[in-house]
């Protein structure tokens, strides 16, 4: 498992900082003959190195570090640096501006509250160093005003970093999120266009064999009008012909009209009941709520998209020997939409399926695994959405969010 790049970079930066601190302290003490509290400084650096080793061990296999982890690490950096500065001149130390580094890192890794906390902590650390600053004079002039001015400059720099860099970082993250979402949508649309072309080609290729089978059936029926097996062929052939004609009409409607329509919830519920009963006579739909008095945004693909989900639910039920599906309507006042909840009593989804369903083609034992992908694309085109999750009492739930056109008009 790969370590989170953010925490990895922070730990790498601290490793370099510890090495630089050690070299700087030893060089100043032995080469420049500057009086430092050598043993306390080495003790603090040793403690920081031990904390670094513990952090490296603890986060070596963490693929995604929580914001609280970054907050703790940056807090430790501020505290260690403050102690080192307090033992080497405090606010008079030329390296006191290094307190800006944790703020810069926080600006690009943490949210507003975390950034504000690190900024205030750094300002408090600088203020502590200023208050406990040793007496200092240069050329008989009191330098306290100069160091106060440096503190004011630090506060201003901290504010600028927190506001400007923080805002730029959030803008970049939002832009990356939008670009990633647009790229994902474009790839899915390309996939759907490919599937649409393949479906049209297959439909066209099936037309001739079905027509030939119909002619052969009519000839057999004339020659053997009392043959039971020949008569049984009539219903499947009629279903194939009707489905093929339905595909053609639907394709023509989408290609020519290509416009959104509207439908009442009562009409949609009736269409769901009638169509599903024909396809799965052994399954029963139990409605837990009456149709809500509202008109929904619709098109020619809305009902097939819902039926795709119902077919998956019915298949899951059949595997467990169940015969009932639970459906309900809910008014989502927060999002100003209607939620259609479809629950089955199957095995439910695995975590990997929940992560991938609706975004890409899934392997399927019964078909090509396109149902959820196509349904999700239809709902999004109608300003809706599809959410899949497991029910707490078993089975799976498909939550379809549908956009409302007018919630006041009654069904006509």
pLDDT of 321-339, one tens digit each? Answer: 888 999 999 988 777 889 9
Burial track 237-248 (b if 16+ CB lie within 10 A, e otherwise): eeeeeeebeebe
The pLDDT value recorded for residue 52 is 92
The pLDDT value recorded for residue 140 is 41
The confidence band for 2, taking pLDDT boundaries of 50, 70 and 90, is: low
The pLDDT value recorded for residue 37 is 83
Token output for 229: 């097996």
The answer, yes or no, to whether residue 361 has pLDDT greater than 50, is no
The answer, yes or no, to whether residue 7 has pLDDT greater than 80, is yes
What is the Cα–Cα distance from 188 to 193, expressed in whole angstroms?
9
> For 188, which DSSP code?
H
What is the Cα–Cα distance from 348 to 319, expressed in whole angstroms?
11
Distance of CA 241 to the CA centre of its chain: 42
The pLDDT value recorded for residue 191 is 60
Across 80-99, average pLDDT: 88
What radius of gyration, in Å, describes the C-alpha atoms of the chain?
34
The pLDDT value recorded for residue 138 is 47
- In a 10 Å sphere around its CB, with 0-12 CB exposed, 13-18 middle and 19+ buried, how is residue 392 labelled? exposed
Q: Give Cβ neighbours of residue 234 (< 8 Å, ≥ 6 apart).
A: 217, 221
Across 262-267, average pLDDT: 89
Across 355-378, average pLDDT: 59
Contact 51, 76 (CB under 8 A): yes
Three-state SS at 398: strand
pTM, two decimal places:
0.55
The pLDDT value recorded for residue 366 is 46
The answer, yes or no, to whether residue 299 has pLDDT greater than 70, is yes
The pLDDT value recorded for residue 412 is 38
Which range has highest mean pLDDT (68-72, 139-143, 209-213, 244-248)?
Answer: 68-72
The pLDDT value recorded for residue 123 is 94
Across 152-163, average pLDDT: 88
What is the Cα–Cα distance from 311 to 148, expressed in whole angstroms?
74
Kindly report the backbone phi and psi dihedral angles of residue 336, in degrees, each rounded to the nearest multiple of 5, phi listed first. 55, 60
347: nearest Cα among 391, 387, 395: 395
Q: Give Cβ neighbours of residue 204 (< 8 Å, ≥ 6 apart).
A: none
The answer, yes or no, to whether residue 178 has pLDDT greater than 80, is yes
The pLDDT value recorded for residue 131 is 87
254: nearest Cα among 310, 298, 297: 298
The answer, yes or no, to whether residue 85 has pLDDT greater than 60, is yes
What is the Cα–Cα distance from 239 to 226, expressed in whole angstroms?
22
- How large a percentage of the chain has pLDDT more than 70? 82
Regarding predicted confidence, which is higher, 335 or 141?
335
The number of helix segments (H) and strand segments (E) in the chain equals 13, 9
Across 12-34, average pLDDT: 86
282: nearest Cα among 315, 308, 329, 326: 315
Across 120-133, average pLDDT: 90
The pLDDT value recorded for residue 269 is 92
Which range has highest mean pLDDT (117-121, 153-157, 392-396)?
Answer: 117-121
The pLDDT value recorded for residue 374 is 74
The pLDDT value recorded for residue 255 is 59
Which range has highest mean pLDDT (184-198, 205-219, 237-251)?
Answer: 205-219
Least confident of 261-265, 307-311, 350-354, 380-384: 350-354
Burial track 346-360 (b if 16+ CB lie within 10 A, e otherwise): bebbeeeeeebbbee
The answer, yes or no, to whether residue 258 has pLDDT greater than 70, is no
To the nearest whole number, what is the mean pLDDT of the chain?
A: 81
What is the Cα–Cα distance from 109 to 172, expressed in whole angstroms?
12
Which range has highest mean pLDDT (2-16, 42-56, 178-192)?
Answer: 42-56
Token output for 134: 């040793």
């Amino acid at each position: 498992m790969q370590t989170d790049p953010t925490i990895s970079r922070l730990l790498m930066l601290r490793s370099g900082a510890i090495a630089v601190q050690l070299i700087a302290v030893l060089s100043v003490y032995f080469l420049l003959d500057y009086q430092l509290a050598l043993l306390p400084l080495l003790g603090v650096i040793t403690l920081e190195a031990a904390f670094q080793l513990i952090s490296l061990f603890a986060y070596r296999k963490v693929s995604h570090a929580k914001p609280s982890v970054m907050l703790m690490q940056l807090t430790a950096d501020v505290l260690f640096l403050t102690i080192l500065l307090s033992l080497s001149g405090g606010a008079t130390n030329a390296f006191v501006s290094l307190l800006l580094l944790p703020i810069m890192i926080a600006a690009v890794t943490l949210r507003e509250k975390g950034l504000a906390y690190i900024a205030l902590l750094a300002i408090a650390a600088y203020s502590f160093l200023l208050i406990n600053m040793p007496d200092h004079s240069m050329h008989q002039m009191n330098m306290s005003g100069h160091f106060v001015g440096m503190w004011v400059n630090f506060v201003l720099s901290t504010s600028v970093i927190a506001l400007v860099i923080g805002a730029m970082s959030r803008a970049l993250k939002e832009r990356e999120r939008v670009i990633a979402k647009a790229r994902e949508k474009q790839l899915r649309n390309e996939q759907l266009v490919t599937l649409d072309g393949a479906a049209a080609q297959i439909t066209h290729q099936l037309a001739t064999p079905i027509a030939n089978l119909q002619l052969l059936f009519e000839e057999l029926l004339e020659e053997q009008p009392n043959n039971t097996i020949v008569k049984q062929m009539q219903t499947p052939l009629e279903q194939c012909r009707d489905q093929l004609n339905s595909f053609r009409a639907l394709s023509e409607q989408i290609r020519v009209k290509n416009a959104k329509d509207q439908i009442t919830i009562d009409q949609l519920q009736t269409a769901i009941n009638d169509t599903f009963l024909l396809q799965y006579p052994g399954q029963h739909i139990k409605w837990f709520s009456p149709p809500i008095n509202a008109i929904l945004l619709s098109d020619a693909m809305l009902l097939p998209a819902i039926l795709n989900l119902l077919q998956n639910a019915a298949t899951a039920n059949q595997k467990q020997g169940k015969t009932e599906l639970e459906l309900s309507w809910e008014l989502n006042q927060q999002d100003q939409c209607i939620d259609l909840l479809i629950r089955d009593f199957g095995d439910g989804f695995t975590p990997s399926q929940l992560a991938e369903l609706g975004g890409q083609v899934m392997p399927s034992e019964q078909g090509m695994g396109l149902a959820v992908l196509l349904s999700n694309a239809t709902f999004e085109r109608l300003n809706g959405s599809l959410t899949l999750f497991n029910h707490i009492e078993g089975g799976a739930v498909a939550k379809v969010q549908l956009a409302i056109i007018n919630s006041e008009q009654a069904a006509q």
